[in-house]
A and B are shown apart, each in its own frame.
Chain A
């Protein structure tokens, strides 16, 4: 009788290590992607509308529920106050990047709707509705590539 045994423990160990490295690299890549999305939303036309700058200074980005950046360092004038969200419940599902604009009127203004007048009037040149959505559509591939770039260099 011929009995062959194969020790796969090293292989299994290698796969587990690789999976862990890829997961960490994915999260690092997602950090870069959501930070880039936030910067593009604040800096590229149509950018975040501003009167006092409070809303522009109230953006936060999270990866898998952990805070990885805010825009609180943006200038705010007058009675405006930066109120970026610093905590959010952990989301289920693998690798989630989230951009939160933490002002109660943010959704309405993003959609171009205002209860004080429709459509909403944007007073600062270069700003306008859809300051986040337009970046996701225009630069989606760039954000994917930022994630992929970190995974590619895993050794």
Chain B
């Protein structure tokens, strides 16, 4: 399974967010609710010689009001920020915050958009020989 799917499962297990209901991977559907988050992988991910993968992750949180969007972004941020180890995500060694949630803009539906970015350092998956 892909890393971002595992991460979505982890967020779903630890918050009230539900995959494909108010949490999306990669792309947000047109019919999304006013308050939702989208998980995206970002360029910059790499494999290192030390056996550690670098996964760059972006979380977009949206809400009809500024506070609703910020609260939603903060829920995910508290779950992901600067943590050594994740229960249920055994491969992830630790996470680093590139930036905490901040308001970027409003989208076509007038919703406030908060963006936060993380680096997840994880063990490399063993390749099948």
Question: Binding site of A, secondary structure by majority: helix, strand, loop or mixed?
Answer: loop
8 A Cβ contacts from A89-131 to B:
107-108, 111-119, 128-130
CA distance A128 to B41 in the complex (A): 13
| Contact call B105/A114, Cβ cutoff below 8 A | yes
A116, A133, A136: residue with the most chain B Cβ atoms closer than 10 Å? A133
Chain A residues whose CB sits within 8 angstroms of the CB of B78 once the complex forms: none
How many residues from A make CB contacts under 8 Å with B?
21
CA distance A49 to B43 in the complex (A): 14
Given contacts A133-B117, A134-B56, contact A46 B104 (CB under 8 A): no
8 A Cβ contacts from B15-45 to A:
27-28, 40, 42-44
CA distance A114 to B105 in the complex (A): 7
| Contact call B43/A107, Cβ cutoff below 8 A | no
A107, A114, A118, A119: residue with the most chain B Cβ atoms closer than 10 Å? A118
| Contact call B46/A129, Cβ cutoff below 8 A | no
Chain A residues whose CB sits within 8 angstroms of the CB of B27 once the complex forms: 119
Given contacts A112-B58, A113-B115, contact A133 B105 (CB under 8 A): no
Given contacts A111-B115, A133-B42, A137-B54, contact A116 B104 (CB under 8 A): no
8 A Cβ contacts from B105-119 to A:
105-108, 113, 115, 117, 119
Check if B89 is an interface residue, CB within 8 A of chain A.
no
| Contact call A134/B105, Cβ cutoff below 8 A | no
Given contacts A111-B58, A118-B28, A137-B119, contact A130 B108 (CB under 8 A): no
Name the contact of A130 in the complex, choosing from B43, B60, B113 (C-beta under 8 A): B43
Name the contact of A134 in the complex, choosing from B28, B43, B104, B115 (C-beta under 8 A): B43
Encode contact with A along B95-129: 1 for CB under 8 Å, 0 otherwise.
Answer: 00010000011111000010101010000000000
Given contacts A133-B117, A137-B56, contact A117 B43 (CB under 8 A): no
| Contact call A129/B42, Cβ cutoff below 8 A | yes
Since A113-B113, A114-B107, A137-B98 are in contact, a sample of 11 more A-B pairs with Cβ atoms closer than 8 Å, ordered by chain A residue number, is A46-B43, A107-B104, A108-B105, A111-B104, A113-B60, A118-B28, A118-B107, A130-B43, A134-B44, A137-B46, A137-B56
Interfacial residues, chain B to chain A (CB-CB below 8 A): 27-28, 40, 42-44, 46, 54, 56, 58, 60, 98, 104-108, 113, 115, 117, 119
A-B contact pairs, 17 of them (CB 8 A): A46-B43, A107-B104, A111-B60, A113-B60, A113-B104, A115-B107, A115-B108, A118-B108, A128-B43, A129-B42, A130-B42, A130-B44, A133-B43, A133-B56, A133-B117, A135-B44, A137-B54
